[in-house]
Amino acid sequence: AGADTLKRAVELDLASRFQESLVCYQEGIDLLLQVVKATKDEAKKQRFRQKISELLSFSDGKYHKQIRIEENATGFGYEKLFQEYLTEIVSEVWVEDPYIRHVHQVYNFLRFCEMLVKGPCKVKTIHLLTSYDEGSGRNQQISGLEEIQQSLRNYGVTLDIAFSSSIHDREIRFNNGWMIKIGRGLDYFKKPQGRFSIGYCDFDLRPCHETTVDVFHTKHTKKM
């Protein structure tokens, strides 16, 4: 299975379909890592480790994609941006966003978590680093995040919440090597016209603020 996946990765690479090829490389490398853990033959282990190192060197640092979301554009719900990077091997997610403070921003984070729970990934841990609400809404912010934390436990997912007063960057990382940076973080949707207006429930139909999305593939960090 690993050999077939890596063969497909090479074919996609030669066709300049780098995003798809990196996904295949990632899955092939993970299959080889499973073989390394399972085999007791040290010589075989060493050969597989060497092959993995070559593949990591070959596939790393090749991909950067930028998406420009125009003012009032629609069709950019979370699934649209993230789904293709949420492969089955994703089990851990890091969200750094200073603006998960107000009620609508906590709801944004909840929608993001719902997407992760639906799969096809098998997320077990979500790390959230954000900042405290500086006004009277701090208690509501904390209680909302704790409620999400409790709800995620029912799905076998651990939510680790941390707060920082110095956080500025906004980025989302998956443990399969993909990193997405959104200029406005998760809060790039405009306020709906009313509670019963189109786009209130379906983010694909919600107009957006202008922002830029940068997608990178970072170095595979699993131990061999």
Strands 171-174 and 92-96: antiparallel
Three-state secondary structure string covering 91-155: CEEEEECCCCCCHHHHHHHHHHHHHHHHCCCCCCEEEEEECCCCCCCHHHHHHHHHHHHHHHHCC
Residue 68 has which token pair?
């420009």
Token pair 């980025």: residue: 171
CA 67 to chain CA centroid, Å, is 16
* Four-way CATH pick for 65-217: 3.40.50.1000, 3.30.870.30, 3.40.50.300, 1.10.10.10: 3.30.870.30
- DSSP annotation of 189 reads B
Per-residue model confidence (pLDDT) at position 42: 81
CA-angle at 63, arms to 50 and 81, nearest 5°:
125
> pLDDT (tens digit, 0 to 9) for every residue of the chain, 224 residues total?
566 776 777 676 666 566 677 777 777 777 777 777 888 888 777 777 776 666 665 555 556 788 999 999 999 999 999 998 898 889 999 999 999 999 999 999 999 999 999 988 899 999 999 999 988 999 999 999 999 999 999 999 999 999 999 998 899 999 988 899 999 999 999 999 999 999 999 999 999 999 999 988 765 434 33
Residue 114 has which token pair?
């719902």
- DSSP annotation of 73 reads -
Helix (H) or strand (E) holding 28: helix 18-38
Helices first, then strands: H and E counts in the chain: 6, 7
Distance (Å, whole) CA 139 – CA 57? 47
Per-residue model confidence (pLDDT) at position 47: 75
Domain boundaries, the chain: 1-60, 65-217
Per-residue model confidence (pLDDT) at position 17: 65
Strands 171-174 and 158-163: unpaired
pTM exceeds 0.85 for this model: no
Fold of 1-60: Methane Monooxygenase Hydroxylase; Chain G, domain 1 (1.20.58)
